[in-house]
Amino acid sequence: MRDRIEANQFEADPIGRRLAHSYDRKRSGDMTVVLRPYWLMYLGATTHGSSYGFDTRVPLLFMGKGIAPGEYLEPASPADVAPTFAFLAGVTLPGAQGRVLTEALAHTVPSARNTR
Structure confidence by residue, pLDDT tens digits, 58-96? 788 899 888 999 999 888 888 899 999 999 999 988 888
- Cβ proximity of 54 and 92 under 8 Å: no
Q: Which residues contact 18 (CB under 8 A, 6 or more apart)?
A: 51, 56
Phi-psi region at 77: left, alpha or beta (left = phi > 0; alpha = psi -120 to 50): beta
Tell me the mean pLDDT in the region 86-111: 84
pLDDT at position 44: 67
Instruction: Kindly report the average pLDDT of the chain as a whole number.
Output: 81
Give the span between the Cα atoms of 47 and 43, in whole angstroms: 9
pLDDT at position 76: 87
pTM of the shown model: 0.56
- Asked if pLDDT for residue 111 goes beyond 70, the answer is no
pLDDT at position 71: 92
Give the span between the Cα atoms of 103 and 94, in whole angstroms: 21
Compare 9 and 106 and report the one with higher pLDDT. 106
